Structure 1
Amino acid sequence: MKKVAALACLALFTSACGGGTAEAPSGRPVAGGTFTYAIPADPGVLDPATGVLSVTNSVLAFAYDTLVSSGKDGKLVSGLAEKWEVKPDAVTFTLRKDVICSDGAKLTAADVAQNVNHIADPATKSPIYGVLVPEGMKATADDAAGTVTLSTPKPFSFILESSLSLFIVCGKAVKDRSLIARATSGSGPYVLKEAMPGDHYTFGLRKEYAWGPGGATAKDLPDKVVLKVVPNEQTAANLLIAGSINGATFYGADRTRLEATPGLGKMTPMAGNGQFFYHQGDDRPGQDPAVRKALTQAVNLKELAGIASSGTGRPATGLVLEPRPCKGDTVSGHVPAFDAAAAAAGLDAAGWKAGPDGVRVKDGKRLTLRYLYGTTRGAGVQAAAEYLANAWKGVGAEVKLNGVLDTKMAESLNATQDWDVAWLPIGVTLPSQLVGFLSGPAAPKGANFAHLKNARYTELVGQAALKTGAEGCKLWEQSESALFASADLVPVTELTVLVATKNAVFEILAGLIKPTTIRLTQGG
């Protein structure tokens, strides 16, 4: 199922999918020059309609604009649209008149509409449909008026905010997407000049760029951007210290080394939520809410948070990352509290009795938990897996750890379904982006990979989707809390990463570099 793959990619590769806005310490600005940034993997196909990996979106952000953007304070500012009118089931954008695509074509309202309709077309099989483009959304254009209207079949609470992450293709590639498999065709400040898969991607500045977020222009931007593929963090750290690159993102052991290195700019944006899901399919232990509650009570989540994040995380406050529209804490007071004795008693009451070897048995079946996790998220995730295994063994469960490469996580979650508990970080900025994964048809027929059946959640999100503002947020927040109270998934920590820089400053929004804020410096 494409959407399950989208979730796995969004979740597992979202070091660039959360975190708010941050800025590195500054030095004296330097005009022109080359900004070089290390990316951890090749971005693959560069069509925004297929962009679910954070590394892909990190590359796309240099070449493509969005209809609206977000300022440092989280408020919406202009992008390709200079103004907008919002209704419960539609938003109409009035486009700027001076926007030119990198191939020289003028951006039209029809171009914008085609972007949305292309993603929504079932034949496209876009993995971001239902995630970045709400299900059922359609677009209509009025080129004479310079307006495009995005509408949904019924009121949708985040109809405006959903456009924040939608990169707009323009020019010839609107009709021929094959042109942007290894090239770009957008209105952004840079255009891809050279693509060397597995090695580097070089972008050139568009001097004419004058329609950026909030009125940003090409003035003072670097003349060239090189995104260098550096899979090894130690190598990236060495290159940064030596001044061979201007920045990189760090998850693992080298983070500590760089945090202690003088002369570097340092930011710690959000990188996703660390949490685990219980599989609630037929004949799974997690199908029983009493078992889910007991297994959750068996874990000291505060200790687990420190282990999973290697001491760099923050207390979990919800499923949605900054800049999120609803700011409330949905976690506190809603997750079953740590109580090993209550956990054991709960399993006893649920009919799971200790066998001769200490493993609990019910109806002749052992309490076996197959724990699935990604192996490339750092040592903390591996240590967290071992911690959970010990905690659950302590209350009589047999635990089998199954570490897989992140690129195999979608297959393991959906196709094989060979898991009982899965550690799956999530990084989205709208609660509506998760509904298809947390309710509805179960995998493999639907995107509900954990087979969740929380009637209260379904009821609340159905109400929330029809509301806007504070009223809608209250319902969205209650829906998340309903998941936690039922131990459908267990929030553990809000993960962070280190973005270290040298001789450059820039801002980060939703985990992505804002290209219009990059400035090369001396002594920065």
Structure 2
Amino acid sequence: MLNRRSILATGAIAAVPLAAPWGALAKTSKDTVVLAMTLEPPGLDPTAGAASAIAEIVHYNIFETLTKINADGSVSPLLAESWEVSPDLKTYTLRLRRGVKFSNGVPFTADAVKFSFDRAGSDKSTNKDKRTFASLTTQVVDDHTVVLIHKDIDPDFLFVLGQATAIIVEPKSAATNATRPVGTGPYVLGAWNKGASITLNAWPGFRAPASIKMRRATFRFISDPAAQVAALLAGDVDAFARVTPRSVAQFKA
């Protein structure tokens, strides 16, 4: 991530999670952040399109997954608190987090997990990981226990469950998530000014409000390389998740 203080030479990031990693800015009493992106997403439902810009805004912010992929590539619990894997490595029994709600007030249960994965693998699915979900059988044991049976052994399955294509959606909102996303994450859509910016607001109903460091986050879309550099140098944006490589030399100087 490129900001006014440092340059980190990494590859493309999968998402810009806002709930945890902004402690440095928060310590300066700054509770809003402006992030810049090169491309504007075509929609806000990562199960409906392959554009990486979608997940960069909504993954872990609005929508959550059963597991979370950490910066070092490891996987930790998120909506699933724990899990057990069968000896043949094909069956996963997951215990779900209790007390979780979607931003429209509907409780998160195993039924939402089954709906999400059945939908992702259905004939009408446009999910880019449709093949993975089509080979999955989801069984509801009770409200907080779900069993996932994979046809084949996939050593990366828990990692896959943390990707944006595996978000858990609220069934009644699924059809409109591209423009009015409803998730269990710490943020909700505030405004979308097409061609200019998207703003996310902290959701007061989130299960762990103390973890939300930023009250508001604005994603500005700046495609021109010169304008990207100018915005960073002027302080108009706090960070640029993806920046044109040829611009890095200006910051090194």
Give TM class, smaller chain: 0.7 to 0.9
Structural mapping, 1:154-303, within 5 Å: 154-166=152-164, 167-171=166-170, 174-210=171-207, 217-219=209-211, 221-248=213-240, 249-260=242-253
Residue 73 of structure 1: how far off its partner (Å): 5.3
Unaligned runs of 5+ in 2: 1-10, 16-20
Q: Distance in 1 between matches of 2:26 and 2:41?
A: 32
Amino acid at match of 2:192: A
Partners of 1:218 and 1:25 in 2: CA distance: 12
Q: If you compute each CA radius of gyration, which structure gives the higher value, 1 or 2?
A: 1
- 1:126-157 Cα offsets, whole Å, 9 max, x none, are 22213xx355112222334x112221123332
Secondary structure at the aligned position of 1:44 is classed as coil
Q: Normalising by the residue count of structure 2, what TM-score does the alignment of the two structures yield? A: 0.82
In the alignment, is the contact (CA less than 8 A) between 1:205 and 1:218 conserved in 2?
A: no
Give runs of aligned pairs for residues 36-51 of structure 1, distance below 5 A: 36-51=34-49
- Which residue identity lines up with residue 179 of structure 1 in the other structure? T
* Residue aligned with 2:175, SS: helix
Instruction: Give the share of equivalent positions with the same residue, in percent.
Output: 21
Number of residue pairs the alignment of both structures matches: 233
- Residues 53-452 of structure 1 aligned to structure 2 (within 5 Å): 53-61=51-59, 62-71=61-70, 74-87=73-86, 88-130=89-131, 133-144=132-143, 146-166=144-164, 167-171=166-170, 174-210=171-207, 217-219=209-211, 221-248=213-240, 249-260=242-253
Q: Distance between the aligned counterparts of 1:57 and 1:119, measured in 2?
A: 16
Q: Is the 8 A contact 1:89 1:151 kept in 2?
A: yes
**Change beyond 3 A, Cα 1:163–1:34:** same
- SS of corresponding position for 2:102: coil
Q: Which amino acid is the alignment partner of residue 184 of structure 2?
A: S
Which amino acid counterpart does residue 188 of structure 2 have in structure 1?
V
- Offset from partner CA, 1:60-96 (integer Å, 9 cap, x none): 2221111112445544322011111112112121111
For the structure 1 residues 34 and 251, does the alpha-carbon distance in structure 2 shift closer, same or farther, using more than 3 Å as the test? Answer: same
Q: Deviation per CA, 1:394-421, whole angstroms, max 9, x where unpaired?
A: xxxxxxxxxxxxxxxxxxxxxxxxxxxx
1:259, 1:53 → 2: CA distance?
30
Equivalent residue for 2:4? none
Contact 1:91 1:160 in 2 (8 A): no
The amino acid across from 2:198 in the alignment is: Y
User: In the aligned structure 2, how far is the partner of 1:246 from the partner of 1:138?
Assistant: 43
What does the per-residue CA deviation read over 1:421-473, in whole Å, with 9 as the maximum and x for residues that have no partner?
xxxxxxxxxxxxxxxxxxxxxxxxxxxxxxxxxxxxxxxxxxxxxxxxxxxxx
Query: Hey, which bits of structure 1, 4+ residues long, moved more than 6 A?
Result: none
Distance 1:38 1:134, change over 3 A: same
On the 8 A contact 1:91/1:159 being kept in 2, the answer is no
8 Å contact kept, 2:120–2:134: no
Structure 1 residues 248-276: Cα deviation after superposition (integer angstroms, max 9, x where no partner): 1213321111233xxxxxxxxxxxxxxxx
Is 88-97 or 44-53 further displaced after alignment? 44-53
- Match for 2:161: what amino acid? S
CA distance 1:66–1:205, change in 2 (3 Å): same
More helix per residue: 1 or 2? 1
Look up the match of 1:495: none
By how many angstroms is 1:26 displaced? 4.4
Structure 1: runs of 5+ lacking an equivalent: 1-13, 212-216, 261-524
Q: RMSD of the alignment, in Å?
A: 2.5
What is the CA deviation profile of residues 161-183 of structure 1, one whole-angstrom value per residue up to 9, with x for unaligned ones?
22121442433xx2443321212
SS in 2 for 1:118: helix
Query: Match of 2:161, SS?
Result: helix
- Distance, in Å, in 1 between the alignment partners of 2:212 and 2:47 is 31
Q: Deviations over 1:102-146 (max 9, x none)?
A: 11111111101111110100122322213xx355112222334x1
SS class of match (1:116): helix
Q: What secondary structure sits across from 2:44 in the alignment?
A: coil
For the Cα contact (< 8 Å) 2:66–2:168, is it kept in 1?
no
Q: Is 2:137–2:150's contact at 8 Å kept on the other side of the alignment?
A: yes
Partner residue, 1:508: none
* CA–CA separation in structure 2 for the residues paired with 1:24 and 1:46: 23
Decide whether the 8 Å contact of 1:33 with 1:223 is kept in 2. yes
TM-score, length of structure 1 as denominator length: 0.41
**What is the rounded CA distance, in whole Å, between the counterparts of 1:24 and 1:220 in structure 2?**
9
Distance in 2, Cα, partners of 1:259 & 1:129: 42
Question: Structure 1 residues 247 and 149 mapped into 2: Cα distance closer, same or farther (>3 Å)?
Answer: same
The separation in 2 between residues aligned to 1:237 and 1:123, in whole angstroms, is 42
Q: 1:461 corresponds to which residue?
A: none
CA contact (8 A) 1:51 1:128 kept: no
